[in-house]
Structure 1
Amino acid sequence: MRHLSLIPTLLVLLIPHTVMAMWKSQPRLQTIAASSASIESPFAGQAIQGSVDIRGSTGTEGFQSFEVDFSYKDDPTNTWFLIQEGTTPVQEGVLAVWDTTIITDGNYTLRLLVTLNDGAQVEVMVNDLRVRNYSPVETDTPSPTPFYVTLAPGIPVAPSITEQTPTPTLTAYPMTPTPLPTNPAMITSSQVVLALGKGAAFSIGLLALLGAYLGVRFIVHKNR
C-alpha cells in the first residue's frame, strides 16, 4: 500500500519535467526547419538555356560544406558531374552558375549535396530540367477551357449554342460568248488575190506601152 501511495507523487514530479522538455525542444525544431537545404530555382520541368543561376539555401545547422552537381536523367550509372562546391553556407542566394552551353541538349537532374559536421549528408534534387540551347523549346498546347454562365450561386450552367442560319450564296455560271457581226470593211483573201492580179496586169500593160513607145521612137530616129 505504501508503494501505491507513492505513484501520485511520482506523476506530479515527472509530468512537469516532460512538458518542460517538449517545450524546450520546439525552438530547436523550428531552427532546423528554418535552416534546411533547398533549391529555389530552377524548378522541376523548367526549360533552361545559357548560364543559369542556381538559387537556394545550404542550411546553417551543423553545416560543413556543399556541392552542386548534375546528371543525365535516368542515368543507370548514377554519375554526377560537379558544377560548384563551397564551404560557406548560403541562405536564399546563388549556390552556383551552371553553363549549359557546354553540354548537349537533353533532360537532366540537378542536385544540392550538403555535408554536416557529424558526417551526415542532406540531398536536394530537382528533376527533369530541360536544357534547350540548340533545339526548340517544347510548348504545351493549352486545352480549351469550357465557358460557364452562373445563373445561381454554386450552379454553373453551360451556355446553349445558337445555330446560325446559313446565308445563301450566288453561284456563278460560265456565259457563252455572242459572236460579233461581220465587219463590212474586212477584206477577204479572194479580194486580196484579185487586187494583186489587177495590179500585176496593169504593170505589164504599162511596161508594154513603154516598150512600144521606145520602139517607135527608135524607128523614127533611124529613118531621119
Structure 2
Amino acid sequence: MATVRRKYGRILTVVLLLLWGWVGTAAGQTGSGIGQPASGETVAGIVEVRGTAVHPDFLRYELAFAQAGSSEWIVFAEGDQPVIGGVLAVWDTTVGG
C-alpha cells in the first residue's frame, strides 16, 4: 500500500486490489504491489503508478484511493492483463476525489 499526498495536501492511500474468480491470498503474498509512488511520497498532476499485479488465478486488478481517515475508496484505474514491474496506471490526481 502506498500513501501519497495530492497537491492540496490531503493524504490519500492507493491500494492494489487483485481480483480473481474466488477468494485468494492477499496481494502481499503473491509478490504483487505498488513500487512507485513510494509510501509517503508527495505527488501531484499526472503520476505513473508502477508495480506488479500477478496471481496464479489472475482475473484483473483495480487501483483505488481513499482520503486519510475515510473508508470510502474510489477506483481510478483497472487492468485485465498481469503486469510485472511495469506501469499499472497513469493517474491524473487533479480529477475526482
**TM-score, length basis structure 2:** 0.64
- Show the counterpart of 1:92: 85
1:45, CA displacement in angstroms? 1.1
Q: 1:64 to 1:99 in 2, by over 3 A?
A: same
Kindly indicate whether residue 17 of structure 2 is the aligned counterpart of residue 36 of structure 1. no
Q: 1:55 — aligned with what?
A: 50
Aligned mates of 1:90, 1:34 — CA distance in 2? 16
| CA positional deviation for 1:102 | 2.5
Q: 2:60 matched to 1:46?
A: no
CA distance in 2, matches of 1:101, 1:87: 25
1:38 Cα deviation after fit: 1.1
Please, what is the CA RMSD of the aligned residues?
2.1
Q: Which runs of 4+ in 1 moved over 6 A?
A: none
Instruction: Calculate percent identity across the aligned residue pairs.
Output: 34
Structure 2 unaligned blocks of 5 or more: 1-27
Deviation at 1:98, TM superposition (A): 0.9
Return the alpha-carbon distance in structure 2 between the equivalents of residues 83 and 36 of structure 1: 22
Unaligned 5+ runs, structure 1: 1-32, 105-224
SS in 1 for 2:84: coil
CA offset at residue 60 of structure 1?
A: 3.5
- Deviation by residue 1:187-217 (Cα, 9 ceiling, x = unmatched): xxxxxxxxxxxxxxxxxxxxxxxxxxxxxxx
What amino acid sits opposite 2:38 in the alignment?
F
User: How many angstroms apart in 1 are the aligned matches of 2:44 and 2:68?
Assistant: 17
Measured in 2, the distance between the counterparts of 1:49 and 1:56 equals 19
Matched with 1:71 is 66
Q: Residues 153-192 of structure 1: matches in 2 within 5 Å?
A: none
Deviations 1:123-181 (A, max 9, x none): xxxxxxxxxxxxxxxxxxxxxxxxxxxxxxxxxxxxxxxxxxxxxxxxxxxxxxxxxxx
AA aligned to 1:91 is I
Write 1 or 2 for the structure with the bigger share of strand.
Answer: 2
- Which one scores higher on RCO, CA 8 angstroms, separation ≥ 6? 2
User: Secondary structure in 1 aligned to 2:94?
Assistant: helix
Normalised to the residue count of structure 1, the TM-score between the two structures is 0.29
Larger radius of gyration: 1
The 5 Å alignment of 1:1-224 reads 36-75=31-70, 78-103=71-96
Query: Which one has the bigger helix percentage?
Result: 1
Give the C-alpha shift of residue 103 in structure 1.
4.9
1:64 positional shift? 1.1
Supply the AA of the counterpart residue of 1:84.
A
